[in-house]
Homo-oligomer: A and B are copies of this chain.
Amino acid sequence: MIKQISLFFVLCVFVSMNTRAQVVEDFQPSPVNQPGSAYPQVNSEGRVRTQIMAPDAKSVQLDIGGVKYDMVKDENGLWTGESAPQDVGFHYYQLNIDGASVPDPGSLFFYGACRYGSGIEVPSDDQEIFAIKDVPHGHVHEIWFPSESTKTDRRAFVYTPPGYDKASSERYPVLYLQHGYCENETSWPVQGRANFIMDNLIAEGKARPFIIVMTYGMTNEISFGGLRNFDIKPFQTVLIDELIPYVDTNFRTLSNQENRAMAGLSMGGFETRLITLNRPDVFSYYGLFSGGVYKSEELSEHENLKLVFMSCGSKERPDGVKSAAAELKSGGINAEYYISEGTAHEFHTWRRSLHQLAQLLFK
């Protein structure tokens, strides 16, 4: 019995030491830190480490990916701690200081989880798809468009491709691109890096230059449990009757169905699906990123449909996307699917999905 206990004790110490030894000490500052901030950092395993001065605190935790990791205080009151390895790509996170949930002051802030809060970038093998390279850059316009139906002026971001402002007469196709639940119109142009993905694809000759319009999908006023009762009409009115006419008046667009696409991530895919089914006359390209699938019978009367694109992370339900694409193809519809390897329901899946879809649009 004593022997067994001793063995168990030795084993526990070994496991504990081994766990410590497994943290690879090659941490680097996250590229989305505040200017000049050394923390948070990420190592080659994808562990996130951060620090904060809190000399009088009893408990500080790093809260990421749904798990809270205890941090440790040194003699100066500086707390340090790290997470388990995270998937590649972008993650929202926060700190808990004696029970208060607050942003980490070391990181930049991003709109997700229904609030502006901390974000971190875990390096990926394909991160150069959204890097800021020495190539011609398009512009991201912040616009405010009038909305009769909501009695407000509403914000959208509009990406125009490199050379748009120089070219005085060229007209461009348009992708309307929606964020997910608890995100907003900043999510695609900021953490989604839609503009840099496009700049790089255009520089490589892999995508036709087009305009991207990103606005708030009015998704966040409902409870997520209330999704079945979600009424698409208010947003459909803003998008179809107010935003599209504003964009077609104020930008040099090709303003017909054949040159108009709609895509969205997660609940933005849900919205894309509903709006394209309600209004088969408006868009010719449909994209659902981790946002459901179409059945061919739903699309039987969609006359000018050029492409259905569906995607998700390999850690989501890739089989559903694959079988839906096969079913659409068997129904005579041009369908493509994409599975993001090693990622879940997060922004890296959706950056990669945009990178794929953009190469297929308007060709």
User: Using a CB–CB distance below 8 Å, which chain A residues touch chain B?
Assistant: 34-37, 52-60, 77, 95, 97-103, 105, 108-109, 114-117, 132-134, 137, 139-146, 153, 158, 165-166, 168-169, 184, 189, 195, 220, 249-252
Contact = CB atoms under 8 A, between A and B. Distances in A.
A95 B105 contact: no
A336 to B, nearest CB: 30
Given A54-B100, A102-B103, A132-B144, A114 B35 contact: yes
11 contacts: A35-B115, A35-B184, A37-B115, A55-B98, A56-B58, A57-B100, A103-B105, A105-B115, A134-B146, A137-B144, A139-B142
Nearest to A143: B139
B168 A168 contact: yes
B165 A99 contact: no
A114 B34 CA distance: 9
A168 B169 CA distance: 8
A98 B95 contact: no
- Looking at A53, A95, A153, which has the most chain B CB atoms within 10 Å of its CB? A153
User: What are the 3 tightest A-B residue pairs by CB atom distance, in nearest-first order?
Assistant: A54-B100, A137-B144, A56-B98
Contact of A100 (B34, B97, B101, B116): B97
Contacts of A60: 100
A133 B166 CA distance: 30
Contact of A97 (B36, B97, B141, B166): B97
A58 B102 contact: no
- Looking at A144, A166, A250, which has the most chain B CB atoms within 10 Å of its CB? A144
B137 A140 contact: no
A59 B56 contact: yes
Contacts of A141: 139-142
A287 B345 CA distance: 49
Contacts of A166: 249-250
A251 B141 CA distance: 13
B132 A137 contact: no
A50 to B, nearest CB: 12
- Looking at A56, A60, A77, which has the most chain B CB atoms within 10 Å of its CB? A56
A116 B34 contact: yes
A223 to B, nearest CB: 12
Contact of A153 (B134, B145, B252): B134
A114 B36 CA distance: 9
B134 A57 contact: no
A74 to B, nearest CB: 13
- Looking at A100, A169, A184, which has the most chain B CB atoms within 10 Å of its CB? A100
- Looking at A58, A97, A101, A249, which has the most chain B CB atoms within 10 Å of its CB? A97
B100 A52 contact: yes
Contacts of A251: 165
A139 B220 CA distance: 25
